[in-house]
Chain A
């Protein structure tokens, strides 16, 4: 930080000194003699009026104290009425950006289409990013990026996200493009660290989780922030279309925990999702009671631990406390019996025999009753036929 500040200070000092030195040679007012004519740009057909410079706006810009030729260095020795078009301004002459990475995502863009400094920061009226009018001000970053990314898969989902919405309400600083992607060395960042800049508490909880340890052991199947929360379209968990909305949580966890391939690869139990769905919690959640427990209510959201871990909320020892979050007076009875349970032999023999007892009772009873009905109807039909025959005979 100090190094960066020092660099900037030296750069400014250097530029402004150069400006002062050039003042004698080429005064801005001499340039502006022509460049304040509104028709100047329009004369050159099909060109936007870039040649026009608003002297007041320029003066109030971040570079307002600088001379034109500080940037347009190639024109310094040209006659006043110069024929040559100004060469591309080299911002890097002053703005030494050590973070400007050649590996950034933008450097992967085909040559000629790569964004340049002015594409984001503007030209003559460059403003500091703290000024609301600056295209790189937090409130404008999204529309600045949208100049190119307008039709991409990012901006539109972002605009519907919780990050964009809080920003529009301007009560809290929410993430803009550059918060996650960075500004100059725009890169496909390690997302955990992007999120953790703001969501420190969640990051800490996550770091201890079984998901994080899987991730750090190199298993890229293990979920990180965006796998559950989404990327550009992150919603509040209170929003019904959020993947983390309680009703959608079983689907979300089920994406991996219900996937036979991943179940086999990591030895995950094969029936956690289906057993939940058939529990009262699952049924009630499916039909509009969002107060019941979902996966994360018991297993936690960020600091999920394996049940064998004594610190896990779903460790048998801790179940009374975990159930007690919702259930009044939960005690060790809550931990007696499998939680993710179906009436299957391998889950619970007592439950299995109850279910199969009722199954055979139902089948037996209904077979008898339906048999009786059919026989009764048959006897009635037979009687009717006999009667008719007897009637015909008489």
Chain B
């Protein structure tokens, strides 16, 4: 882990865009609606606890909390639908989706990390754009959204639903809604929060959800393969530009790679592409050595 500490000393820190503005807004809408849903939903699951009594007294009863729950559910469904369009219709979304699909390497990474945890491997798995941790989070939300939205809509429109299906199915929907709620809550507050808050290298919080960026140091540590890919792509672009004699324009635009951005730290100076990519091979050596 030496390279993490050394990483901090690297001057002129580059930052990499991990989450586009669209994704950040999607994530904010997702987590705020989910938090509201958890806060208004769990007191119903555990209706006979003192916390639940207190909650309903503060909110003003189950009717009010039910309205809040449904409003938040509307936001959640909105995000879900928007994300479907985003994933299908935008280039950014399609790329994101492709990179989040599970691959054989992910299973290998899990095995490698487990070996590392038990001291049988020298290093952690090296991740690309998304690690298996992040992919798990993403697909867990898919699973959760399908269960929660389907069962939730059944409960919401129970009178319409009961026109066509027996009450038993509604009971099953209620049970699934209640049980999946607990699973999702635990996964968020334990797994996701460990990965983005309580993990010693993130504590107290990764700011990526707000800025959308991660530092070069974090990029090298957590996504070394992606980092290498970007650097390689950049140097190729530079070479291409050089060979075409249009290096200056190339340095000013970021069109070559949508998911990167650069920024001087504090001083407002913009360091050209070329300089950082020139540094890159050394850093990677330092990181892996």
Contacts and interface: CB of A to CB of B under 8 A. Distances in A.
Which bracket fits the contact residues of A?
35 or more
Contacts of B186: 362, 366
B159 A328 contact: yes
Interface residues of B, number: 47
B191 A373 contact: yes
A355 B168 CA distance: 13
B163 A327 contact: no
Contacts of A384: 1
Q: Which residue of A283, A289, A348, A359 has the most chain B CB atoms within 10 A of its CB atom?
A: A283
Interface string A324-356: 000111110111111101010000101100110
Contacts of B289: none
A373 B183 contact: no
A284 interface: yes
Nearest to A335: B167
A366 B136 CA distance: 13
B167 A354 contact: no
A373 B61 contact: no
Contact of A355 (B167, B179, B194): B179
Interface of A: 277-278, 280, 282-284, 286-289, 327-331, 333-339, 341, 343, 348, 350-351, 354-355, 358-359, 361-362, 365-366, 369-370, 373, 375-380, 382-384, 387
A286 B166 contact: no
Given A329-B162, A336-B168, 12 more contacts: A277-B48, A284-B62, A288-B62, A331-B162, A333-B162, A337-B166, A338-B168, A348-B171, A366-B190, A373-B190, A379-B117, A387-B1
A358 B175 contact: yes
Contacts of B56: 287-288
Interface in B36-74: 43-44, 47-48, 52-53, 56, 60-63, 65
A354 B61 contact: no
Contacts of B199: 376
B182 interface: yes
25 contacts: A283-B62, A287-B47, A327-B159, A329-B162, A331-B163, A333-B162, A333-B167, A337-B166, A348-B171, A354-B179, A355-B179, A358-B176, A358-B180, A359-B179, A362-B182, A366-B187, A366-B190, A369-B187, A370-B190, A373-B190, A373-B191, A375-B118, A378-B117, A379-B117, A384-B1
Given A286-B47, A287-B62, A288-B56, A354 B163 contact: no
Given A277-B48, A328-B159, A378-B117, A355 B166 contact: no
A283 to B, nearest CB: 4
Given A286-B48, A330-B162, A375 B114 contact: yes
A369 B187 CA distance: 8
A383 B172 contact: no
A333 B47 CA distance: 27
B174 interface: yes
Nearest to A362: B183
B47 A288 contact: no
Interface string B154-194: 00001100111111111110111001101100110011001
B2 interface: yes
A245 to B, nearest CB: 15
